[in-house]
A = this chain, B = another copy of it.
């Protein structure tokens, strides 16, 4: 008989309901069916699972020892079944997500964690790369969803969902000469003469005209690279707050505050996907989770 699904269900029903009759009621069977099935299991195993000396069967030590393992097996089977059915409802069997290097992945990871509870057998793969590479992977359909900087170009190829705004803060290396002169810039205009490190690349032009302030600009294609340049004292730059929080705290960097730009630059973070590649169920629910729905 070999521990088939039915036997597992039956055995656990007897344990949970305390008697063959109750189990039979729960399973919509007749008591004798349960009785015979249990007797068959016992015959196969070679030992008693229940002691029938009292009116209601009391589980043997062995049955009790077996119970948690049987339950685990049942859980795995129902999980498998749910997953197989979910596949038919459009769940992808593997969800590959791209994350742009500079974007804070915390919220996404929280959402993925929730998703993994809903679909325990769903495989998730995370790919971290610069924005250009992520978009390329998305275009090639190697990833189905990406967390990326948004608002960059309107392109009918992409579909997206706003997720968050990263506040950009103007930052300077703590040992930059501008600070040493005890004349820390008070107004944004004070920075016009100081070289600015701007994040932009061929394929990704400046998002916001406001982003470029200084007359002399050097360019980097990621915040990570730009950050290195700023730390090396090559200039100042605007960075997502979360990206530089630690360095600010450690005193490596200094945040510049201005009297006239209280409303900081904000860079939108989007979940992006390819119109040509319809989202799977997991990706759809992930988007919903990130939108805050549920």
A83 at the interface (CB under 8 A from B): yes
- Chain A contact residues: helix, strand, loop or mixed: helix
Query: CB-nearest residue of chain B relative to A70?
Result: B80
A47 at the interface (CB under 8 A from B): yes
A2 at the interface (CB under 8 A from B): yes
Number of A residues near B (Cβ < 8 Å) is 30
Interface 0/1 of A1-32, CB less than 8 Å to B: 01111100000000000000000000000000
Contact of A84 among B66, B94, B121 (CB under 8 A): B66
Interface 0/1 of A40-77, CB less than 8 Å to B: 00000111000000000000011001100110110011
Q: How far is the CA of A72 from the CA of B75 in the complex (A)?
A: 12
Which one of A85-93, A182-190, A217-225 is at the B interface? A85-93
Contacts of A77 in B (CB 8 A): 3, 73
Contacts of A84 in B (CB 8 A): 3, 45, 66
Contact B81 A3 (CB under 8 A): yes
Contact of A69 among B47, B65, B80 (CB under 8 A): B80
Contact B121 A69 (CB under 8 A): yes
Contact of A61 among B62, B93, B123 (CB under 8 A): B93
Contact of A88 among B45, B72, B79 (CB under 8 A): B45
Chain multiplicity (copies): 2
A80-B3 contact in complex given A47-B87, A94-B65, C-beta closer than 8 Å: yes
Contacts of A73 in B (CB 8 A): 73, 76-77, 80
Query: CB-nearest residue of chain B relative to A60?
Result: B87
Q: How far is the CA of A192 from the CA of B77 in the complex (A)?
A: 71
Q: How far is the CA of A61 from the CA of B87 in the complex (A)?
A: 11
Query: CB-nearest residue of chain B relative to A6?
Result: B4
Contact B69 A87 (CB under 8 A): no
Contacts of A79 in B (CB 8 A): 69
In the complex, the 4 A-B pairs of residues with the closest C-beta atoms, listed nearest first: A65-B93, A46-B88, A4-B5, A3-B81
A-B contact pairs, 6 of them (CB 8 A): A4-B4, A4-B6, A45-B84, A45-B88, A66-B87, A73-B80
